[in-house]
Structure 1
Amino acid sequence: MDWIRGETVGHGSFGKVSFAIPRKQSTLFSPSMVVKSSSASCSATLINEKLILDELKGCPQVINCLGDSYTYENGEKLYNVLLEYASGGALSDKLKNSGDHRLPEFKVRKYTKALLRGLHYVHKSGYVHCDIKLQNILLGENGQVKIADFGLAKRSESMKDDKLRCELRGTPLYMSPEMVTGGEQDTPSDIWALGCVVAEMATGTPVWRCSDMSKLLMNIGVGDQLPDFPDKLSEEGKDFLGKCFVKDPKKRWTAEMLLKHPFVADQDYDDDTVTLTCESGNPSTSPRCPFDFPDWVSDDSAQSSVTRSITSLPSPAFQELMNLSDGSRSTSPAERLRGLVSERRPESKWSAGDGWVSVR
């Protein structure tokens, strides 16, 4: 698609986001688009996002990808991904612009149900988002929820081998206990992060009120301490958070289970219902209780189209993706925590509320 770069609307660690204006209007593409761009030599994260979004097409709660291209601008080769424009902005901005920096419970319920539908689709499609937070939840013109920023997303642990299990991905305030202590990041980690988002929508503040990184990681990963539950949230809401904030990921409720929780079950939502089936073609069934989980089955011979596409990438992008698998897994939670606490990244601002960075 032939397009012209417009005004810049945002920046990130990957590059920048600008408006994209089609040179010729086409019924195949929305006239309201943005383009996410990065240098072609370090575009592995953006390429990963494009490949995953292509596999998640059809879900109303996931941002729609409209294509990609390479361009030469100011002597530099750029990789660009065209995305639908969510004119309502990020959910984090909605909180900041509200009178008391929090949302009324009826809106929290509505947005939570939409998020669950999107996460249910993502998880059943075999992926983990790995960075669910308010900044990565966008709103359409009519308030439709759109999960965005899949640059850190990956195949579910249950659908691939264990070689990438030690990766550290996401934003510290939203990290799950198993991520901090063992490097495990599967679909339950997204549910923990969802709980953080729900509580933050209700209060306007992060669930962990701690600016010291070492203390934060210890609170998340060690002992029985849980995030604070909002006092003004209904009993149904507190019970919902209780199903998200379960230290043992095997006992944490799934997105499919949470969709039937009273906190969201009776919420009307305009988007089409997403129907998912197993490989056999039969509809998936929800566990009857939080402990009724099917055994995870690992199929090492099954290789996703994302993996197949990655192997054919140009060497710079391929190398960056492969670098994500470097490192060894700690032998104990204590050793891992010491490594995390001692790690220093140039752009980290642990004491600033808006300064939390994605750890890649």
Structure 2
Amino acid sequence: MFSSTMAAVISVVVISSSSSSAPRKPKHDSKWYAMIKRRNAFKRKKKTPVVCFERATTLEASHGLSWVRVCLLGKGGFGSVFYAKRRTTINQGTHLPSQLAVKSTIMDQSSSLQHEKQVLCDLTSSPYVVRCYGDEVTHIANGVKVYNLLLEYCSGLSLERQIRLSGFGLADSDWRKEGNFVAKLADFGLAKAVDEECHDMRGTTRYMSPELVREKKIGYATDIWAFGCAVLEMLTGKPAWEYSEVEDLLWVIGYTDELPQIPSNVSEDAKDLLSRCFVRTAAHRWSADCLLEHPFLSVN
């Protein structure tokens, strides 16, 4: 089983609030400097592929044996994702669907994508995880090798986009039976085995748990905290934390007793569920199995 920060797949519209007061600056002790050093080292490591991978337009001409790129869907810290279609002129790759998403990066910087492929293969039986159809190495014009991860193409809106439309008073006008969607997890680049030693902070800062910031500890409870942040953000349209400076955010999460504020206008069930997620001691947070039995998540 793997643990990953929920924000990789559930990112909700962020609306700044002017009512939040800035926190006091953290004390610059040895633990603080060590934590910032770890964060900056991981940040530099994460950004490296972006610098070397700005040639998205060049990659659009780098097709696979059984598929062709159609357009760029987006770029992230570890590569670019393309919408692709299966070739109809050859017999190879007939196991591929007619549409797919191809996640690509330079071969020399593909360790994260190769790790992600292994995680996806381990989770292939889950209907709530995007399917992986394998991988393939292609080349661009200068002979540089490109690693490609072949994934299920999900045509529905992201959760963030759906909430943005709702916030503007817009609705999906095409709610046919075949238009309904199932929420799926789609990014496991930072997934880590719970018994594997962690050497850096990984994930989106505002979803990090206290033990991750303070001690670099990752476990199932880490995801429960992040899940609570995502639920609170979906309920309010605002991030769980509204600090503008990353260093202030890390300090508040890891080195104070402060908890995300739960507004009074949400249901009692929602308040109770969030209180089970926002527990600073990881061992005292509810497990996923317990949360599934909670009235807020129960399905009648």
TM-score (norm: length of structure 1):
0.59
Structure 2 residue aligned with 1:216: 249
Q: Which deviations, in whole Å up to 9, do the C-alpha atoms of 1:275-318 show, x marking residues without a partner?
A: xxxxxxxxxxxxxxxxxxxxxxxxxxxxxxxxxxxxxxxxxxxx
Correspondences of 1:104-183 after superposition (within 5 Å): 142-157=180-195, 160=196, 164-183=197-216
Task: Report SS of the residue matched to 2:167.
Answer: coil
C-alpha separation between the residues in 2 aligned to 1:28 and 1:211? 47
C-alpha separation between the residues in 2 aligned to 1:185 and 1:77? 33
| 1:207 equivalenced with 2:240 (yes/no) | yes
Gaps of at least 5 residues in structure 2 are 1-64, 172-177
2:165 to 91, 94, 97: 97
2:149 to 81, 85, 89: 81
C-alpha separation between the residues in 1 aligned to 2:99 and 2:179? 11
Query: Amino acid of the residue matched to residue 96 of structure 1?
Result: R
Change (3 A) 1:217 1:87: same
Q: Which deviations, in whole Å up to 9, do the C-alpha atoms of 1:169-198 show, x marking residues without a partner?
A: 111010000011111011111110000110
C-alpha separation between the residues in 1 aligned to 2:185 and 2:223? 12
- Post-superposition offset of 1:232: 2.9
Structure 1 residue aligned with 2:114: 47
Query: Amino acid of the residue matched to residue 224 of structure 1?
Result: D
Structure 1 residue aligned with 2:85: 21
Structure 2 residue aligned with 1:293: none
Query: Amino acid of the residue matched to residue 143 of structure 1?
Result: F
Contact in 2 for aligned 1:166/1:182 (Cα 8 Å): no
Contact in 2 for aligned 1:102/1:203 (Cα 8 Å): no
- Post-superposition offset of 1:29: 2.6
Task: Report SS of the residue matched to 2:187.
Answer: coil
Structure 1 residue aligned with 2:281: 248
- Post-superposition offset of 1:167: 2.1
- Post-superposition offset of 1:204: 1.1
| 1:6 equivalenced with 2:44 (yes/no) | no
Q: Which deviations, in whole Å up to 9, do the C-alpha atoms of 1:65-117 show, x marking residues without a partner?
A: 111100012222100001111111321122222235999xxxxxxxxxxxxxx
C-alpha separation between the residues in 1 aligned to 2:264 and 2:133? 42
Change (3 A) 1:102 1:240: farther
Structure 1 residue aligned with 2:105: 38
C-alpha separation between the residues in 2 aligned to 1:48 and 1:223? 34
| 1:184 equivalenced with 2:214 (yes/no) | no
Gaps of at least 5 residues in structure 1 are 104-139, 268-360
Contact in 2 for aligned 1:199/1:230 (Cα 8 Å): no
C-alpha separation between the residues in 2 aligned to 1:241 and 1:222? 20
Query: Amino acid of the residue matched to residue 96 of structure 2?
Result: F
Structure 1 residue aligned with 2:123: 56
C-alpha separation between the residues in 2 aligned to 1:100 and 1:205? 15
Task: Report SS of the residue matched to 2:283.
Answer: coil
Contact in 2 for aligned 1:8/1:17 (Cα 8 Å): yes
- Post-superposition offset of 1:214: 2.3
Change (3 A) 1:232 1:29: farther
CA RMSD of aligned residues (A): 2.1
Structure 2 residue aligned with 1:129: none
Structure 1 residue aligned with 2:34: none
C-alpha separation between the residues in 2 aligned to 1:199 and 1:30? 36
Pairs aligned (count): 226
C-alpha separation between the residues in 1 aligned to 2:230 and 2:98? 31
Contact in 2 for aligned 1:202/1:233 (Cα 8 Å): yes
TM-score (norm: length of structure 2):
0.71
Contact in 1 for aligned 2:104/2:146 (Cα 8 Å): yes
Structure 2 residue aligned with 1:67: 134
RCO greater where, 1 or 2, for CA within 8 Å and sep 6 or more? 2
| 1:263 equivalenced with 2:292 (yes/no) | no
